[in-house]
């Protein structure tokens, strides 16, 4: 059962890490847009 849970946990860890990277890129882009708007 440990292998099963490890596989399922690893799957969601990979997906959550990727979603996190998208969220970071969104924030960075929003900051760039607001910075260029201030100039």
Partner 1 sequence: MKPAFTIFALLTLCLLSYALYAALVVAPTELTMGDVQRIFYYHVPSAWTAFILFTINFVASVVYLIKRSVKADIVALVSAEVGVVFCTVVLVTGPIWARPVWGIWWTWDIRLTTTLVLWLIYVAYLMLRRFSVGSQTALIAAVLAVFGALDVPLVYFSIWFFRTQHPSPVIGKGGSLDPVMAHVLLINWAAFMCFGFLVCWSRYRLEKVKRDTEETQALEALLEHGAPR
Q: If binding is defined by CB under 8 A, does position 18 make contact with partner 1?
A: yes
For residue 30, give both structure tokens: 């929003």
Among 15, 20, 31, 38, binds partner 1 (CB under 8 A): 15
Question: Minimum distance between the CB of residue 32 and partner 1, rounded to whole angstroms?
Answer: 7
Q: Is 24 in the site for partner 1 (CB under 8 A)?
A: no
Task: Give dist(CA 29, CA 5) in Å, integer.
Answer: 36
Eight-state DSSP code of residue 1: -
**Upper half-sphere CA count for residue 11 (Cβ side, 13 Å):** 6
Quote the least distance from Cβ 10 to partner 1, whole Å. 5
């Amino acid at each position: 059962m440990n292998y099963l849970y490890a596989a399922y946990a690893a799957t969601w860890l990979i997906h959550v890490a990727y979603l996190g990277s998208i969220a970071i890129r969104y924030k960075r882009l929003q900051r760039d847009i607001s910075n260029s708007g201030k100039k």
